Structure 1
Amino acid sequence: MNNLDDQIKKALENGTKITQADRQDVWNHIEKELFTEKTKGELKVMKPKKKNRHTAFIAAAAAAVLLFIGAQTEMGHAVIDQIKELFAPQKQITQEIEGNKEKTNVNLQQPSKSQYVIYIDEERYAFIEGKDKDRIVMKTPVEGNFPEVSMEIEQVADRAPEDIIKDLDAQIRDKFEKVYAPQQVNEPINGWVVRGIDGQNWDSAIIKVYVVSNGSQGSFIITQHYFLEAAEGHGVRFDEMVKEFHIVNVSQ
């Protein structure tokens, strides 16, 4: 096993009141899930893209463990917290902003009430954890009468992405001049997206909403707000952060 494998195994063993036999069963289950693609009932194991093996291993381990022991058990909550801690607190990404390659340091955010993690550019944005939804906003808002610039993340526990996207499409059509039909995407995340724009002026408001499965019966909704002139700036930066959104809880 490599160091990451050992870290995860150790994290699962520390602080959990289970027997050695139970521990080995859990670990065997993790290894089995990591190398197979299958669905258990209505629950599909969440696996990020292969380009980030570190993240893929952690997410697959989380899914496998929680399928085995249950997310709502005391042990399940402990495992979720331990697996969150295995994500690097900071890393560097390369993104293309207005045609130029830019290296950016991003920092890990681990909401206490939500079972996901995300990396954000803390030089430009602040993460605000809320009761029902979390928000990412400009750290230093621009003075003047500008449209909103933000990204919100919320979870709906009991509705599938296919259902939610239809309602969002109707809601956006009531408020925006032009709306693009919902479509399935695999970049920057696997799920659905619907987009709307309110005119063609530099300050015309844009909304972009991603809806992704939470791995069980529900969905995460990621809503971006910015304006036309900021599409190649804030719009690109928000999508880069969406790439770094990872679910670490799969409920039974």
Structure 2
Amino acid sequence: MKERDISILIITTITVLSLFVYNSPTDTGIAIKKEMKDIFSPEKVVKQSIEGMDEEIQMKLNEGHRSEYVMYVDEERYMLTHGEKSDVITPLHPAPENYPEVTMEIEQFPNEKPLDLVEIIEAQLHKEFTKLEVAEITNPIKGYQIHGAAGNKADSKIVNAYVISNGKEGSFVITQFYFLEAAEGHGARLHHMLETFKIVE
């Protein structure tokens, strides 16, 4: 096949796929259109269950460090702060005195693969959490989760560390800390925000 014919074939294929995404009446076409719209929409209403009650939360689109990802944040309750190496989401109102801080840190490791990082992070967390559970998951995000609890009291520290591929040769590590009493509050809200995490680099 001549080079000119190959170019025409590629252009035609792209055109057909674009028409399918934007004009297809099928459920697949509609879902793709909605997903693309939601990713770039500046605001998004998210339905979530908090402490046994359903509610709709207006979230705003935030860009990550060096625009490596986007994520919807409940800005009525949290703020995202950009750091030199990582970003951190924290509540606008801090936890009660003597309770562990509530945070969700997002950091990219461009040259380290997920499974390698899982072993490293698990070893680090074992210093504070004697019992850890490691699982491969698809919700709230596809990757690996390391979960641990430092006790069973109201102020016991909880960790959820998520390790996911960055789509290249590296990984993102998203680490949540909160306390047991806040599992159905902050824990659930952080979970729902993480569901909106999208790599855009």
Give the deviation of 1:88 after TM superposition. 0.6
The equivalent position to 1:28 in structure 2, one of 14, 25, 28, is 14
> In the alignment, residue 83 of structure 2 is paired with which amino acid?
G
C-alpha RMSD over aligned residues: 2.9
Give the structure-2-normalised TM-score.
0.83
8 A Cα contact 2:95 2:102, kept in partner: no
**Taking every aligned residue pair, what percent have the same amino acid on both sides?**
38
Q: Which structure 2 residues correspond to residues 1-252 of structure 1 after superposition, within 5 A?
A: 25=11, 28=14, 31=17, 53-54=32-33, 56-57=35-36, 87-111=40-64, 113-180=66-133, 182-249=134-201
Conserved 8 A contact 2:65-2:86 = no
Alignment check: 8 A CA contact 2:91 2:102 kept:
yes
One-letter amino acid of the structure 2 residue matched with residue 91 of structure 1: K
User: Cα offset for 1:128?
Assistant: 0.3
Q: How many residues in Structure 1 have an aligned counterpart in Structure 2?
A: 187
Residue pair 2:94, 2:101 contacting (<8 A) in 1 also: no
The Cα offsets for residues 123-168 of structure 1, whole Å up to 9 and x where unpaired, read as: 0001101110000001121342210101000000011111111111
- Secondary structure of the 2:177 match is strand
Q: Which amino acid in structure 2 is aligned with residue 238 of structure 1?
A: L
Deviations, residues 178-229 of structure 1 (Å, cap 9, x unaligned): 211x110001111000011111110000111001111000011100000000
Which one has the bigger strand percentage? 2
**2:158–2:180 Cα contact (<8 Å) kept:** yes
Partner secondary structure for residue 144 of structure 1 = coil
Please give the alpha-carbon distance, in whole angstroms, between the structure 2 residues aligned to 1:176 and 1:102: 33
The runs of 5 or more residues in structure 1 that have no matched partner are 1-20, 36-49, 60-85
